[in-house]
Structure 1
Amino acid sequence: MLDTDWSDSWRGAFGIELRAEAIGLAGRGWPVFPGTYPSWPADGTWQAPVPAHSDWREQLGAHPHKVAAWWTGAQYSLLVATGSVLDAVEVDAVVGKRAACLLRAGGQPAPIIAMPNGRWLFLTLSSAGTLPAALRDDESVRWHGEGSWVPLPPTPFQHGVVHWRVKPEVWGWRLPEAGTVHDVLVRALAGEQAAHLAVAEASVAA
């Protein structure tokens, strides 16, 4: 069951915020579209959002006015399609934390999303290529490219709400090249980490 308090007031507040986020992102050209929303009271079957409409692919690139209409009077999660404007690489929290620190240490932009299930999403410019073998062959890594989607904050999820670890506006809404982030994720997957993270982990272990 969801740990979040899904009272009417909470649902109303999230609905307003989700609508505002959807409109803003659509205005920036992000292919957002509605996702399913948890029922109230939650029945224990809710896991994660999926497209609310079967024709979601045909709705991509809708004008912000149409996006606003979708979220007016209806409650939806916020999803963004991958494979055109952006892609996403999904990793576990350990690799995600390492990669985030490596990116920050190198001064490289990368919007990062954390999901309540312990998974992190690294957003990049869309790439027609494939993942490096080290990422592609690792079962803990998932690439979201053409035909896929990812949830955007503040989408409700099992045991909480999707949130930004690094907001797009921190980097002036610049999405990084896919190869740049892939290379950092390969390093993080191999155990490399920024010096300050290594010191912090060592002190915790001690």
Structure 2
Amino acid sequence: MIGAALTFATEWQWPVLPGVAPDPQGPARCGCPDPECTVPGAHPFDPALLAATTDERMVRWWWTQRPAAPIVLATGGKAPCAVSLPAPAAARALAALDRAGMRLGPVVAAPHRWAILVAPYSFEQLGELLYAQDHVPGSLRFHGEGGFLALPPSETGHGTVRWERAPLPGSAAPWVPDVEAVVDATVEAINRTGVSAPEF
């Protein structure tokens, strides 16, 4: 886990921090104090999200102390943001985007939701983009400034986080598309193909 965390932080300059681990007494539950946590093991807790960093020494210290801790990306700022949707709908939407020739960057796949990484965006930019759409499925989620996303190969209460579309090999930070292109194409694919995206 520490190797992946160091790649994200030092080579790609993505600010990361360790997530709260799943509850050892019940892996489907979270180790945080919330008994009804909906993202078990896939969110920051201690340290808090604002502690996310690209500092090599801090990242090494965190994962030396907690080698199995999930890797959490603090989205926004200079780091990628993400657009996520339920896994079954995401798989069909990606197939539709491929047929349309849409270029995508990395796609993170958790057992229940997949997230398409996109370039950083502002809340104002996102608001204007969504306002211009005739219909935006309620199951789409936007991980922007102040948000977070568990990265591969994290183990969470819902299972393993993996790459559905892995970054190309190399030390440079992966290319990610603009949010406008992803939202426009995803919404169009869902509406045109009748892809079902349930509200969860």
Q: TM-score range by the shorter chain?
A: 0.7 to 0.9
Say which SS state the counterpart of residue 181 (structure 1) adopts. helix
Say which SS state the counterpart of residue 90 (structure 1) adopts. strand
Gaps of 5+ in 1: 1-17, 194-206
| Residues 55-74 of structure 1: per-residue CA shift (max 9 Å, x gap) | 431x2333123211110031
Question: Which residue, out of 82, 87, 90, partners 1:93?
Answer: 87
Q: Could you tell me which amino acid in structure 1 is paired with residue 182 of structure 2?
A: V
% identity of equivalent residues: 28
Given that 2:97 and 2:189 are in contact with CA atoms closer than 8 Å, whether structure 1 keeps it comes out as no
Using structure 1 for the length normalisation, give the TM-score. 0.74
Question: Which residue, out of 13, 19, 24, partners 1:29?
Answer: 13
Q: Could you tell me which amino acid in structure 2 is paired with residue 165 of structure 1?
A: E
Task: Give the C-alpha shift of residue 43 in structure 1.
Answer: 6.1
Given that 1:103 and 1:110 are in contact with CA atoms closer than 8 Å, whether structure 2 keeps it comes out as no
Gaps of 5+ in 2: 31-39, 195-200
Question: What is the distance in 2 between the residues matched to 1:150 and 1:31?
Answer: 11
Cα RMSD between the aligned structures? 2.6
Task: Give the C-alpha shift of residue 127 in structure 1.
Answer: 1.0
User: Larger deviation: 95-104 or 61-70?
Assistant: 95-104
Q: Could you tell me which amino acid in structure 1 is paired with residue 187 of structure 2?
A: V
Q: 1:158 to 1:61 in 2, by over 3 A?
A: closer
Question: Which residue, out of 121, 125, 129, partners 1:127?
Answer: 121
| Residues 121-157 of structure 1: per-residue CA shift (max 9 Å, x gap) | 0100101111424498432111111111011011112
Name the structure 1 match of 2:198.
Answer: none
| Residues 42-93 of structure 1: per-residue CA shift (max 9 Å, x gap) | 2652334221325431x23331232111100314111001121211111122
Question: For this pair of structures, how many residues does the alignment match?
Answer: 175
When you count helix as a share of all residues, which structure comes out higher? 1
Name the structure 1 match of 2:46.
Answer: 53
Given that 2:29 and 2:157 are in contact with CA atoms closer than 8 Å, whether structure 1 keeps it comes out as no
Name the structure 2 match of 1:112.
Answer: 107
Q: Could you tell me which amino acid in structure 2 is paired with residue 39 of structure 1?
A: D
